Structure 1
């Protein structure tokens, strides 16, 4: 499921938003192979962090883990959506990786 850009902006930090925007056409075509590899690495780290936070929030909601904040999480929809946004950006960046069947390269 695709997420609108205004929702992405609301869910993401400035660094995450910059990386997600860099994974879009035409900016991604301007990246060198090294820059593309660094972008994918950063996106994966950000996605993994969002997934870890989401799992912790799920455990808090079920009562299986102590609250990491002042109160236990009541939902984790925003964190799940953030992980989806980052996963979509990774998918776009992986499509542009040299050596794949890509008409742009």
Structure 2
């Protein structure tokens, strides 16, 4: 059974893989707040694109939409998995942003 990293290597393109890998320790800890926000924006765009492609493929499979290519999509599990991998990276990034926000806003009593 392939590991999570192997399956992400297969699912994601080079740019998306770079973004997802940046959300893991220790890389995420070395990023500035501005870099984290930039990565967050790019991940949200990639997630929206993957989600839209999966939805289009689903409609093609049901026969509700014309095929995007020559043949209609027969399966959209890859697109769904890609969307899920990006979503997990977004959740890690959001947790780090929340952690940093709480650390910066706490005042000693």
TM-score, scaled relative to structure 2 = 0.88
Could you say which residue in structure 2 is the equivalent of 1:27?
A: 27
Q: CA deviation at 1:99?
A: 1.2
The aligned length equals 99
- The residue aligned with 2:107 is none
Structure with greater helix percent? 2
Runs of 4+ in 1 over 6 A off after TM superposition: none
Partners of 1:68 and 1:4 in 2: how far apart? 29
Partner of 2:12: 12
C-alpha RMSD of the superposition: 1.1
Displacement of 1:93 in angstroms is: 0.5
Equivalents in 2 of 1:22, 1:70: separation in Å?
A: 36
> Who wins on radius of gyration, i.e. which is larger?
2
Residues 33 and 62 (structure 1), Cα distance of their counterparts in 2 relative to 1, 3 Å cut = same
Distance 1:7 1:70 in 2: 27
When the two structures are superposed, what TM-score results if normalisation uses the length of structure 1?
Answer: 0.91
Which stretches in structure 2 are left out of the alignment for 5+ residues? 104-109
Q: Which runs of 5+ in 1 are unaligned?
A: none
